[in-house]
Amino acid sequence: MRNFLNGCFVGVLVCFAVLIMLLSSGIWPIRATADPSPTEARLARFSLGRALKHYAAPRPNPVALSEANLLAGLKLFEDNCAGCHGTGGGRSHWGSSNFYPRAPQFGFERPTMPDWQLFAVVKDGIRYTGMGGWDGEMPEDDMWRVVTFLTHLASLPPSVEGKWRLREK
Ligand code: HEC
């Protein structure tokens, strides 16, 4: 048993040393313009999902679902997010080509997370990606308005849908 534990310990040390050597060798790829591999993208999605389950507690959306709030959410999105996430009228070239991982283009791939998880992403951002947190940059009610807009992309009233689809990036 003792030998087995010693073996595990040495194994962990060797893995750690190899990782440090790899990171310090300078061959670790850093270009954001490279295409993310499907395996890497799946792993990143998996760990994001697990992390959100772990730290973001379900909470009610304090913003009422109304046309005024959806329009306000759309405006906030266009002013702050569309540069990377595109609009209903077009993809952001920057967001869909030059970020690693790519910024999802919400006009073409709707977010699937529940609203409280989207809120957690908007508020605190996602580490090691281009998605910064908006904490302290945007009032929480406005973050909820953007989230309300994003969770209703499939059922926007015609007045909001028209503006969303018309606006090109
Ligand atoms: C500078 C570029 C940039 C800006 C500005 C930006 N984002 Fe992001 N966002 C990203 C990137 C890159 C990702 C991908 C992160 C990942 O896959 O882990 C992302 C991911 C997200 C996600 C997670 C989506 C998912 O399904 O994984 C949400 C939600 C989101 N952003 C919302 C917003 C909102 C709302 C705003 C504006 C208030 C915003 N973002 C502004 C770059 C940006």
Cα angle: 33, vertex 105, 50; to 5 degrees: 85
Distance 127 CA to ligand 1 centre (A): 11
List per-residue pLDDT tens for the chain, 169 residues long. 788 889 989 999 999 998 899 889 998 889 999 999 999 999 999 999 999 999 999 999 999 999 999 999 999 999 999 999 999 999 999 999 999 999 999 999 999 999 999 999 999 999 999 999 999 999 999 999 999 999 999 999 999 999 999 866 5
How much is the pLDDT for 169?
55
Look at residue 60 in the predicted model and tell me its pLDDT: 96
Pocket test of ligand 1: the residue of 85, 92, 112 to mutate, having most ligand atoms within 8 Å of its CB, is 85
- Could you give the CA distance from residue 148 to residue 65 in angstroms, rounded to a whole number? 7
- Crossing angle of the two packed helices 67-80 and 158-166, in degrees rounded to 10: 10
The gap from C-alpha 161 to its chain's centroid, in whole angstroms, comes to 23
Angle at 81 between CA 61 and CA 157, to 5 degrees: 55
pLDDT number for residue 167: 67
pLDDT confidence of residue 168: 60
The count of other CB atoms within 10 Å of the CB of residue 95 is 20
Helix axes 67-80, 140-151, angle to 10 degrees: 100
From ligand 1's centre to the CA of 119, what distance in Å?
11
SS (H, E, C) the chain: CHHHHHHHHHHHHHHHHHHHHHHHHCCCCCCCCCCCCHHHHHHHHHHHHHHHHHHCCCCCCCCCCCHHHHHHHHHHHHHHCHHHHCECCECCHHHHHCCCCCCCCCCCCCCCCCHHHHHHHHHHCCCCCCCCCCCCCCCHHHHHHHHHHHHCHHHCCHHHHHHHHHCCC
Pocket-forming residues, ligand 1, beta carbon under 6 Å: 44, 48, 80-81, 83-85, 99, 101, 103-104, 111, 113, 118, 121-122, 126, 129-131, 134, 146
Task: Set out the domains of the chain in order of their start, with CATH numbers.
Answer: 56-166 (1.10.760.10)
